[in-house]
Amino acid sequence: MGGLSVLCARRKPTSFSWWSFSLPAFSWRYPLFPPFFLPLRGKNPSTAQFCNWLRPIKEFLFSADFAARARLTPAAFTRQRELPLPHLVGLLLNLRKGSLQEEVNGFWEVLTGQPLAIGVSAAALCKARQQLDPDALWALNERLLGSFAQAFPLRRWHGLRVLATDGSTLRLPRSPAVSAHFGAPPSGSTIPLGRLSQLVDVLNGVVVDAELDAYDVGERVLASEHLEATAPQDLVLYDRGYPAFWLFARHYQLERDFCARLPLGFSTEVTAFLASGARSAVITLAPSPEARRQCQRYEIPTAPIPVRLIRVTLADGETEVLATSLLAEPAWPSVWFKGLYHLRWGAEEAYKRDKLRLELENFSGLSVRVVLQDCFAKRFTLNLTAICAWVAQAIATERFRQRRRDYRVNFAHALSCMKNTVVRLLVGADTTELLMSLILAMAMTVEAVRPDRSFPRNMKPAKLQGFHRSYKRCR
């Protein structure tokens, strides 16, 4: 760590008329993927080969290595139980908002195919998850992202993977244990809050790193920790609440690129740049006494650093100033950066999916361990859904390429398709054909892309925050 019903549609693949391939092998007269999606260019992969990217995750889930990571005590998950470790994890990945007993019964029904399957009790689930280390769920997520990156050529911006950091608060369960760990509720509130920070791959729709910490931990501190999960050829986007000399210096220390929106009064150099009327300029930032103390605290060099300032004019005439480590104008033209910074909206969309689609704040227990388990389990489910939707998008793009508008996969529908299906994919025996059917089902339901929307979206009223009433709390 740094730190989702059976298929909605059960149509046979051959019933579709808008592609030219069939299971179990693809016909490449019209490729399933556009050229930049092709995992095996020049070859004719079978369906099994295409679906191999999920197999390492399933194997890891059933491995001794995962069991060792999951144990909080040496004796945990060593004996045969009614709820073995892989089944426990599959159940947690599938939790939504029903009662715990309802979720357990539904889980065993999916595995056995029997509507009245007798599984384990909700109490047994609560007892089993007391032995599960939440970090094991994040390790499973890391394995998923690694397999995804190896199997598919990911979307990049001029050769760079574009990441965006954003933070939000989470309403946590009202319990003494949670308040002691994350801090007492803020003044005027009775509900504990946690600080959630995420590092999002905005072009590919997955969360690369996540941290859930105390409410009083600063977003910049969490952002600097996210950098440990980055790699060369990564570029991180920040909004205007993040810029600080020590954070920029940390990027230079790790040789990671950044692009950040600056407050117009960030420094005298920014003020002078605005007054100059220039579109782009390279300046030298020197640390203030406070910035020097921050650098010393985190063992970051305090030498002055070069930063390029770029003026961006919005449609309403407002001026923004971006700061970036991409210094060379010929290699990185200024006109590129307005579109680049707009990509940061993908991090905002990730939180909307977390809180509205999967109800991340609807925790299934009152302990810190359960809070972290729920958070990381739902993150895995969302990432798995995003990857499947990523592949389905290629099919949808080919299907609607003659239309006037562009169309994208409906993520809410994709998430509903993943309910129970995630159990069959990771714990059940049927994987290959099920995964292909899942992706095709997602590709069937799309929504038009309206890039220049000028009116507010008509959002449904927010649901009551807090716990689902039918949950029995795991402690």
**Which two three-digit tokens encode residue 151?**
């199997």
For the stretch 39-70, pLDDT in tens is 333 333 344 556 678 889 999 999 999 999 99
Give residue 374's pLDDT: 92
**Residue 345 to residue 166: CA distance in whole angstroms:** 10
Give residue 265's pLDDT: 86
| Residue pair 448/404 in contact by the 8 Å Cβ criterion | no
Give residue 139's pLDDT: 95
**Residue 159 to residue 156: CA distance in whole angstroms:** 5
CA nearest to 32, candidates 473, 364, 397, 433 = 397
**Residue 468 to residue 359: CA distance in whole angstroms:** 10
CA distances from 22 to 36, 38, 444 (A): 21, 17, 16
Classify 251 in phi/psi space as left (phi over 0), alpha (psi -120 to 50) or beta: alpha
**Residue 311 to residue 281: CA distance in whole angstroms:** 9
Give residue 446's pLDDT: 80
Return phi, psi of residue 238, to 5°: -130, 145
Domains of the chain by range and CATH?
13-134+360-448 (no CATH), 155-347 (3.30.420)
Query: Percent of the chain, pLDDT > 90?
Result: 46
DSSP-based three-state secondary structure for 19: coil
Average pLDDT over residues 377-400: 88
**Which two three-digit tokens encode residue 216?**
């009083």
User: How many CA within 13 A on the CB side of residue 89?
Assistant: 32
For the stretch 280-314, pLDDT in tens is 999 999 999 999 999 999 999 999 999 999 999 88
**Angle at 227 (CA atoms; ends 200, 360), nearest 5 degrees:** 40
Write down the pTM of the prediction: 0.84
Strand partners, 279: none
CA nearest to 214, candidates 169, 165, 148, 276 = 169
Give residue 475's pLDDT: 66
